[in-house]
Structure formats: structure tokens, C-alpha cells
Amino acid sequence: MTKITKDEVKHVAHLARLNIDEQEAEKFAEQLGSIITFAEQLNELDTENVEPTTHVLDMKNILRDDKPVDGLPREQVLKNAPDHQDGQVKVPTILE
């Protein structure tokens, strides 16, 4: 069984921008450990000479015409923003 430590879970949670407490870290460590262990059954397969599949259909470089189009009206864009002021999205301090 692949062990995932609480510290690893906390690190991953930080990367994923999720706050978690001690209790959650413990629970997720156990659950993620068993999921990863389950996933390791893929190592039974020799995939040395197998190409990875990122997309099932054979298409590439789908481009649109390079023509300017109107953007969305500002009030529409801000309609769902939790906080805004003077036509701008408002966020907490970025620079300390």
C-alpha cells in the first residue's frame, strides 16, 4: 500500500489552493493512499512502446479566423463578481 503522509496531503492541498485542517488531512491521507494504491495496478502493464492518448479524435490545430470581435459588456462581466468597484473586480491586497 502506498502511504501518503499528512504532510504530503497538506502540500498537495496548498498547491491546489485548498485550506484543510488536521482532521481532514488525516482522512484524505488515508483515502488518497488507497486510491493511489488502487491506481498502481496499471504498473502490471508494460507500456514501454505505447504512445499516450491525449485526445481520442485525430484532429489538430483547430484555429478560428483571426478577426476582432466585440468583448462582453462590462456590466455583464461584473454581474457575477462577488465584489467590484468603479467597474473593476475588487480583490484583497496583493502586494504586502
Partner 1 sequence: MSLFDHKLADLHDLLHKKEITIADLVRESYKRIEEVDGKVQAFLTLDEERALARAEELQQKLGSDEGLLFGMPIGVKDNIVTKELRTTAASKILGNFDPIYNATVADKLHSADAITIGKLNMDEFAMGSSTENSHFAKTKNPWNLETVPGGSSGGSAAAVAAGEVPFSLGSDTGGSIRQPASFCGVVGLKPTYGRVSRFGLIAFASSLDQIGPITTNVEDNAYLLEAIAGLDPNDSTSANVNVPNYRSALTGDIKGLKVAVPKEYLGDGVSEEVRQSVREALKVLEGLGATIDEVSLPHSKYGVATYYLLSSSEASANLARFDGIRYGYRADNAENLIDLYKKTRAEGFGDEVKRRIMLGTYALSSGYYDAYYKKAQKVRTLIKQDFEKVFEDYDVIVGPTTPTPAFKIGEQIDDPLTMYANDILTIPVNLAGVPGISVPAGLSEIGLPLGLQIIGKHFDESTVYRVAHAYEQAANHNMKPEL
Minimum distance, C-beta of residue 63 to partner 1, in the bound complex (Å): 8
First-to-last C-alpha distance (Å) of the chain: 43
Residue among 1, 72, 85, 86 that touches partner 1 (CB under 8 A): 72
Cell of 64: 478560428
Closest CA relative to residue 27, chosen from 44, 15, 10: 10
Helix, strand or coil for residue 88? strand
- Residue 81 within binding range of partner 1, rule CB under 8 A: yes
Residue among 19, 68, 71, 86 that touches partner 1 (CB under 8 A): 19
Give the DSSP H/E element, type plus range, for residue 35. Answer: helix 22-39
Contact residues for partner 1, defined by CB under 8 A: 4, 8-9, 12-20, 28, 31-32, 34-36, 38-43, 45, 47, 50-57, 59, 62, 64, 72, 76-77, 79-83, 89, 91-94, 96
